[in-house]
Amino acid sequence: MAVDEAMNDSIKNVHKELREVFASGRTVGGDWRESQLRGLLDLLYENESELTAAMAADLGKPPFEGWVTDLLTTRDDARDALAHFRSWMKPTKYKVPVMATPGKAWTEPQPLGTVLIISPWNYPIQLLLVPLVGAVAAGNTVLLKPSELAPATSAILAKLVPKYMDGDAIRVIEGGVETTTELLNLPWDHVFFTGSTRVGRIVMEAAAKHLSPVTLELGGKSPTIIAADANLPIAARRVAWAKYLNAGQTCVAPDYVLVDKSVADEFTDLVVEELIHSRDKAPATSIVNASHVRRLEGLLDDHGGHELLPRKSDPTSRSFAPVVVAEPDPGSALMEEEIFGPILPIIKVNSIDDAIEFVNDRPRPLALYVFTESPETERRVLDRTTSGSVCVNHLMFQVATSMPFGGVGPSGMGAYHGKSGFDTFSHTKSVLRRPTKGDLKATYPPYPKVTQRIIRKVTRWPNK
């Protein structure tokens, strides 16, 4: 179903107005960028209750969990940008080769222009506003498209963003798939999308029609490797926590576990115990909607393994209790599709090398986790696997740093957080300046033999 003509015209007008604001030069200066970052920090601080209430309405997310996963992470990224963006804006000098002397060479970052940020529902504030940090730190005008599957959060952000930030340069458009489709029909200077690999392909195809560059933050099946020497109680507690957080609806959640057979039974018992404790004691985030509950139920229908926790789900209330599946069929849908829910497959392996081979036989994941007390084992996994990021002896905390975050291959392209977010939304322009004085005619064709000899001498050719 397409958007109506009036809505389509409105989308085009917003796009046009954003491009006009950028063309005016208003967003280029450091003072504008600083004011936007400060406004974003005020938005988070002054509206904590309203924002966490919106996430609770959309996802049943406990307020403290919403504060930690969405508000705190966004605040930290905005603070980092505020502290460093002026140094990121500075030119970088380069040495001028002999053939280009005399002269001065440097690069300088400049904003790309008008960018589109499309966010998902699972962390509806963090995954919309952290990319925004990089975009405004780099001096762009921005159109934000929050997820329609988190309608309360979408509505509060649409209300607050223009109140705290430059409402002419940073706009919010709400709507469903039809709205996103119309947005992607327009030429953007950059498209930033977070979501599934399937939709990522659609976004990339649409952007290609305009040769718009894209950043795709996708997902996939992030593995966890448990070595024989791992601290099993700690590993079990941390894996269970990461799988239970946000009801497993996290792109870097542990999707499945590969555990050394010598400790597999002990680890499995421990992780089941931890998940039982979580099911009984901790408040749970809901599955986003009934359709996703039924999708998770379908993954449990034909996995070929053994379920170690009883199924307990209800599409009406959007609840889905954690389930551990031991030894599922590697060819089952459970082991081929991203789970995005609180189901934890556990597979025994004979060795670390077998675990590495299992991972490498599958698409490159967004994240990889390894639990080991051995530096040699850690190094072997780091050297012989490829993933967007790695966390050793814990899970998901790598995303909370200012290090670049992004996927590789089917799990995404491009990165953000910290300076990498600034770089994603910037063009690094190369500049060379040469003086007009001392312009020797002998350096133009036809080249006199004496000129040729001098040039060969000063360039040390041949190189001996």
| 309, 263: one domain | yes
| 282 pLDDT higher than 80 | no
Does residue 191 share a domain with residue 293?
no
Residues 100, 170 share a domain? yes
Residue 450 maps to a domain? no
- Positions marked catalytic: 217, 251
- Answer whether residue 307 is part of any domain: yes
Of 145-154, 298-307, 452-461, the range with the lowest mean pLDDT is 452-461
- pLDDT in the model for residue 284: 80
CATH classification of the domain holding 257: 3.40.309.10
Same domain, yes or no, for 175 and 39?
yes
User: 358 and 251: one domain?
Assistant: yes
Q: In what order do the strands lie in the sheet with 92-94?
A: 92-94, 104-111, 426-433
User: Average pLDDT of 116-135?
Assistant: 98
Q: Do both 420 and 375 map to the same domain?
A: no
Residue 56 lies in a domain: yes
Co-location of 295 and 312 in the same domain: yes
- Tokens of residue 266, six digits: 């002990």
In the predicted model, is pLDDT for residue 418 greater than 60?
A: yes
394-406 pLDDT, tens digit each: 999 999 999 999 9
Report the chain's C-alpha Rg in angstroms.
26
Q: Is the residue at 459 inside a domain?
A: no
In a domain, 456, yes or no: no
Higher pLDDT, 441 or 255: 255
The pLDDT of residue 464: 65
CATH number for the domain spanning 13: value is 3.40.605.10
**8 A C-beta contact, residue 197 and residue 411:** yes
pLDDT for 186 equals 97
Total domains present in the chain = 2
Q: What are phi and psi of 445, to 5 degrees?
A: -65, 155
Q: What's the pLDDT at 55?
A: 97
Rounded average pLDDT over 212-228: 97
Dist CA 36 CA 142 (whole Å): 12
DSSP letters, 253-293, are S--EEEEETTTHHHHHHHHHHHHHHHHHHS--PPPS-HHHH
**The two three-digit tokens of residue 300, written as one number:** 């449990």
CA-angle at 298, arms to 297 and 301, nearest 5° = 95
Query: Do 204 and 279 fall into the same domain?
Result: no
Does 2 score more than 70 pLDDT? no
pTM: predicted TM-score of the whole model, two decimal places: 0.95
Q: What pLDDT, in 10s, does the model give residues 63-97?
A: 999 999 999 999 999 999 999 999 999 999 999 99
Q: How many CB atoms lie within 10 A of CB 102?
A: 10
Question: What tokens does 59 get?
Answer: 């996802």
Let me know whether 339 and 293 are in one domain.
Answer: yes
Q: Which domain holds residue 94?
A: 5-218+414-427
Query: Is 195 domain-assigned?
Result: yes
Residues 93 and 157 in one domain: yes
Report the chain's mean pLDDT, rounded to a whole number: 95
pLDDT of residue 3: 61
134 part of a folded domain:
yes
Co-location of 399 and 419 in the same domain: no
Per residue in 21-52, pLDDT (tens digit) is 999 999 999 999 999 999 999 999 999 999 99
- Do 48 and 140 lie in one domain? The reply is yes
What's the whole-number mean pLDDT along residues 344-360?
A: 98
Phi, psi of 410 (to 5 degrees): -65, -15
Tell me, yes or no, whether 432 lies in a domain.
no
